[in-house]
Amino acid sequence: MTYKKRRQNKIIKNILYILKWILLLPCILVDYLICSIIRLKRRRCPHNKQAMFIGIGILVLSCAMVYYMSGNVFFGMHKENSVPSVSAHEDSHNDKPMDMKKKEYGIQIGVDKPYNLFMHDMATQHKELTSSTFTDSPTDALNQEVKTNDMTVKENQSIDDNFFQKTLFIGNSRTKGLYLASAPKGATFYAHEGLLVNNALTKTFIKQKDNQLKISIPEALSKQSFDKVYLMFGTNELGWVSLDTFINYYQDIIDTVQQHNEDATIYVQAILPVSEKKSESTTIYTNDNIVRFNEKIMTMCKEENIHYLDTWASVANDKGVLPDEASTDGIHLNKTYTEIWLDYIRRHTIQETSIKMKDRMKHGI
């Protein structure tokens, strides 16, 4: 769905929301009048039951009319747009990732392990999965048919730092860790600890060169243009109740980027896994939950014609978890693994950046 079309849909929803209240008030009045009549005539009217049934019928028909004309706004819109009652923040925010001595861990850089390989377990079980699912039968999981997505960026020739001269990275503390440990030369980072999709556009955290005053992402985008934009959100939102709310806020961020950089190539990155120990110690930061969020993010990218980067595969091991040696807290990557993550980004690019996404989709390129 394009930005203009989604904006039109929002306007229509607002109109329907107002219409709902216009229609609901007469229904309440009718209901009140019916109840009053029944109370007044209860002892003198010989047709109490008939009056009661007529009143109920009128009320049901009125509610049905409101439901139909408002497009289910009354029952669904408020829940969809509400802020989740439960939210989660990353429980560790290190300004600098812990570096480690470079050792050989048998890491195969370049071997993609799409998270969809593990989704079959979720489809075959009625109860919530635990992280042991990946450890019980990783071989069976790897043999499953992989779901395809046209927007998932395939492996390409690795690019150098010149590619990142007009590139922007937006995200939370994991993206900040990439900046501190392995940032490519020339790239710009709008990254902050605890950044969420619902406050990313309003939080003032970006420092200006000649001014002590910090500004928000939309303000910063109005001052500088970019050819490529990389987004990564979701770790802090794993405790959210509504996935749809998460996606709606994510789309708002994409819309804002497109408004200021219409021709920019946008990459949405998958949420990176956490360690097995971290996943087993919490009900929020679990790899199964990350898989569930990534599935929704992939669907969003397909609907929005936005490139999807399966960065989950860059650091996940055969169990579908972050290796223990990759992090000190099970979430934030050390320098060795941020370089592995960046290497994956370098090898998965759309290099015909001069062609607009909509033109590529129109001509089937």
Domain that holds residue 186: 115-363
**pLDDT of amino acid 56:** 74
Q: Both 121 and 235 in a single domain? A: yes
* 95 lies in some domain: no
Q: Do 63 and 119 share a domain, yes or no?
A: no
The CATH number of residue 213's host domain is 3.40.50.1110
pLDDT of residue 48: 61
Q: Give domain status of residue 8, yes or no.
A: yes
Residues 130 and 46 in one domain: no
Look at residue 192 and tell me if it is in a domain.
yes
**Residue 109 domain-assigned (yes or no):** no
Flag whether 154 is in a domain: yes
Whether residues 239 and 357 fall in one domain: yes
| pLDDT (0 to 100) of residue 80 | 37
72 is a domain residue: yes
Final residue before a domain boundary, out of 64, 81, 98: 81
Residues 13 and 60 in one domain: yes
Q: Confirm whether 103 is domain-assigned.
A: no
pLDDT per residue, tens digit, the chain (365 aa), is 555 566 667 788 788 878 877 777 777 777 777 776 666 666 555 556 666 677 677 777 777 776 666 554 444 443 333 333 333 333 333 333 333 333 333 333 333 333 343 433 333 333 333 333 333 333 333 333 334 467 899 988 889 999 999 999 999 999 999 999 999 999 999 999 999 999 999 999 999 887 778 999 999 999 999 999 999 999 999 999 999 999 999 999 999 999 999 999 999 999 999 999 999 999 999 999 999 999 999 999 999 999 999 999 999 999 999 999 999 999 999 999 999 999 999 999 986 544 444 454 544 54
Q: Does 62 share its domain with 121?
A: no
Q: Where are the alpha helices (DSSP H) in the chain?
A: 3-41, 48-69, 78-81, 119-124, 132-136, 138-142, 173-182, 217-221, 243-260, 276-280, 287-304, 312-315, 335-347, 357-363
Determine the residue type at 273: P
As given in the structure block, the two tokens for residue 154 are: 């395939």
* Residue 252 pLDDT: 96
Boundary-marking domain end, from 81, 99, 125: 81
CA distance 4 to 82: 23
Mark whether 265 and 193 lie in a shared domain: yes
Q: How many helices (H) and strands (E) does the chain have?
A: 14, 7
Instruction: Tell whether 86 is covered by a domain.
Output: no
Same domain, 52 and 193: no
pTM: 0.61
Phi, psi of 194 (to 5 degrees): 75, 15
Same domain, 119 and 246: yes
**Token code pair at residue 34:** 């019916």
For residues 113 and 319, give the distance between their C-alpha atoms in angstroms, rounded to a whole number.
10
User: What total number of domains does the chain contain?
Assistant: 2
- Domain shared by 62 and 179, yes or no: no
Both 66 and 166 in one domain: the answer is no
At 289 the pLDDT is: 95
288 and 211 both lie in a single domain: yes
Nearest to 223 by CA among 172, 263, 260, 185: 260
Boundary residue ending a domain (81, 105, 136) = 81
